[in-house]
Amino acid sequence: MCGIVAYVGNKQCQNLLLEGLKRLEYRGYDSAGIATIQDGHIRVVKTVGRVANLEDKLEEVGGVRGTIGMCHTRWATHGGVTDPNAHPHTDDKSGICLIHNGIIENYASLKTYLEEKGHKFQSQTDTEVLAMLIGELYSPSEGVDLEAAVQAALREVTGAYGIVVMCDKEPDTLVAARKGSPLMVGVGNGEYLVASDGSAVVSHTSQAFALEDYQVVKLTPKGFRTSTIHNVPVTPKIQQLEIELESIELGAYSHFMQKEIFEQPKCLSNTFRGRIDTRDGKVVLGGLASFAKELTRAKRVILLGQGTALHAAMIGEYLMEDLAKVCAVAEYASEFRYRNPIIEENTVAIAVSQSGETADTLAALQEAKDRGALALGVINVVGSTMARETDAGVYLRVGPEIGVASTKAFVGQVAVLTLVSIFLGRRRFMSADQCAEVLKALETVPDKIQRILEHDAKIKSVTERYIDRENWLFLGRGYNYPTALEGALKLKEISYIHAEGMPAAEMKHGPIALINEGMPAVFIANRGRQYEKVISNIQEVKARGGRIIAVATEGDEQIKRHADDVFYVPDIPEALSPMLTVIPLQLMAYHAAVLRGHDVDKPRNLAKSVTVE
């Protein structure tokens, strides 16, 4: 959940570190800090608030110097949002400095042990406990250098961590380690960068390697050594970063969320490229080709996700049952992992995640895999932990997503789950002609999204009339019930308006009591099998004074008699409709947040990738 950037080399590193930190601010922005080794001593500057606050404080104190350093943006877990709780943290005796992403679950017992040893704590964080523990174990006179002290400390730790450590007694050495929280090392010419995301290093190097769980790397300008926490040497695989600098720049847009909404047509074209063969009526998914027989024999598909990814998984449940005729269920990953789930023979578990690092989803996938399920991934970030843990998978190919509120990743996830469902359906019962018909419709989605985006000004105008209302409903049926959930989530997470999504038919079973005069109710009322029933639900809300905003199919004139405002989307087979109907909902949420004066890309209390429970 936090942003980590560190550097060791021959350059003055303050500005380099701050540049990387700005690219990672979407991962946490409660507080920010930087540390370097300057004139043989650790120099730390940190403050509550955004990276801009840290820049102001650095200017006040004359900056920091050094060719080795680290910086951090925090998303608070243990301890409130205060200057003492901000990272980096130092120990009280050995010149240790540390930044950390994750949670040390046994920090309380370790803290008691260290207090008995005489250590004095300045913060409420679990991270300071780890810094103190490394300092307690650090003893160069006894052969325990910084690398060995970090290894020894991590053997005592329970929890998740991505850490970088330095020590003023070893002024040219960084030590980094990882379990659960992602960490990568960018490899340059006589220099190395460590970061929790490739976007922080791509402007300086195109070569990098990811640390695996329980691995430690020691970095100096002369080279690196990688081992396990038990000091067993390992050889990392250095790879080319697949991030283009342009894709993580804002360009002409006001916010990353806006940029990512508007680049969805291009992103989906990338998702489909080389995967759709309408001539032969088939889907080409190289990542699944080796497991085609196992997939064909599948009796049950479990789709695992959290938040937006769960909503995509719920649409995947409909797709699997409709297009592939296989029993499917979408599950909250956080609940699945703590049940005693029944995994029968020929079960397939599909993890859905933008980052590929979501802690609950990863743990749920591992649980299903351990019980014999075939583990697949629908993931955006190449080389992520989940991508490495799965038996096979399909990448989204939508490019880096910086906005905390997911947009293009959601549409990409639904698109890939559609491809997987067709891939499976073709092998089970679909004829080539049936498959080709669905694929031809699927190919039209990018252009149809583009047509919806051309109505942005109208969507903004309608949204402006409702932004003072603090309670909204989002309702849909069938494929677009999960879309309603996603629309409500988007609105609440960036505009801070309370919104509920639910099946339209469920409204009568209690929630209709919430309807009062002028309450906005957003209905997804595209043409489909349950269209007339949705119209009935609209009438029930309207009769009680609710204001109806409908997302409807182009050419539908009937809807105007019932709705106060209508956003039209092009006609498309119902199974493919969520990729269109969600677009007006994304734009509504975006405009509501901007009109209410909120930071769209960095909503309060949220961070992009949830790598802790």
In the block, tokens 């405009």 appear at 591
- What are the structure tokens assigned to 49, written together? 């608030």
CA R_g for the chain: 25
Q: In this predicted model, what pLDDT tens digit does every residue of 527-572 receive, in sequence order?
A: 989 889 999 999 999 989 999 999 999 999 999 999 999 999 999 9
SS3 percent helix, strand, coil of the chain, rounded to 5, is 40, 25, 35
Task: Give the residues across from 34 on adjacent strands.
Answer: 45, 71
> How far is Cα 139 from Cα 50, in angstroms, rounded to an integer?
36
d(CA 346, CA 66): 57
Rounded distance between C-alpha atoms, residue 159 and residue 521, angstroms: 43
Q: Which amino acid is at 227?
A: S
Tell me the two tokens of residue 179. 């379990």
On whether the CB atoms of residues 184 and 221 are closer than 8 A, the answer is no
Say how far apart CA 33 and CA 38 lie, in whole Å: 15
Q: Which domains does the chain have, with CATH numbers?
A: 3-244 (3.60.20.10), 250-443 (3.40.50.10490), 454-602 (3.40.50.10490)
Q: Phi/psi class of residue 67: alpha, beta or left (left: φ > 0; alpha: ψ in -120 to 50)?
A: alpha
Low-confidence ranges of the chain (pLDDT < 70): 1, 27-28, 78, 242-248, 607-613
With CA atoms as reference, report the closest residue to 94 among 166, 6, 29.
166
Our CA dihedral for 565, 568, 573, 579, rounded to 10 degrees, sits at -90
Residues near 164 by beta carbon (within 8 Å), at least 6 away in sequence: 4, 6, 70, 98, 99, 174, 175, 176, 183, 194
Catalytic residue flag (residue 602):
no
Other C-beta atoms closer than 10 Å to the C-beta of 132 total: 28
Q: CA 133 to CA 458: how far, in whole Å?
A: 58
For residues 132 and 91, the answer to whether their CB atoms sit within 8 Å is yes
The predicted-structure confidence for 363-388, as pLDDT tens digits, reads as follows 999 999 999 999 999 999 887 889 88
d(CA 360, CA 288): 24
The residues, any chain, with a CB within 8 Å of residue 496's CB and separated by 6 or more, are: 596, 598, 603, 604
Give the neighbor-by-neighbor strand order of the sheet with 565-569: 498-503, 471-476, 520-525, 547-553, 565-569
Instruction: Confirm if 45 and 57 have CB atoms less than 8 A apart.
Output: yes
Q: What are the CA-CA distances from residue 356 to residues 133, 218, 380, 561 (Å)?
A: 30, 25, 7, 45
Strand order through the sheet with 192-195: 41-48, 31-38, 68-74, 3-8, 192-195, 184-187, 207-210, 239-240
Count of Cβ atoms closer than 10 Å to residue 598 Cβ: 15
Query: Which residue in 2, 13, 71, 97 is the catalytic one?
Result: 2
Q: How many CB atoms are closer than 10 A to CB 80? A: 12
Report the 3 state secondary structure along 357-387.
CCHHHHHHHHHHHHCCCEEEEEECCCCCHHH
In this prediction, residue 577 carries a pLDDT of 98
Question: CA 499, CA 485: separation in Å to the nearest integer?
Answer: 9
Cα–Cα separations (whole angstroms), residue 532 to 335, 482, 509, 558? 35, 19, 19, 11
Region of 107 on the Ramachandran plot (φ > 0 left; ψ -120 to 50 alpha; else beta): alpha
Is 608 noted as a catalytic residue in this protein? yes
The alpha helices in 390-455, defined as continuous H runs, are 408-428, 432-443, 445-453
CA distance 481 to 469: 22
User: Could you tell me if 392 and 398 are in contact, meaning their C-beta atoms sit under 8 angstroms apart?
Assistant: no
Provide CB contacts within 8 A for 15, sequence distance 6+.
none
Furthest-apart CA pair in the chain: how many Å?
84
Query: What's the DSSP call for residue 595?
Result: H
Residue for token digits 């207090």? 115
Q: Peptide bond before 265: cis, by omega within 30 degrees of 0?
A: no
Which one-letter DSSP state was computed for residue 144? B
Instruction: List the structure tokens of 176.
Output: 């980094």
Instruction: Give the Cα separation of 242 and 322 in Å (integer).
Output: 35
Mapped onto helix, strand or coil, the DSSP state of residue 287 is coil
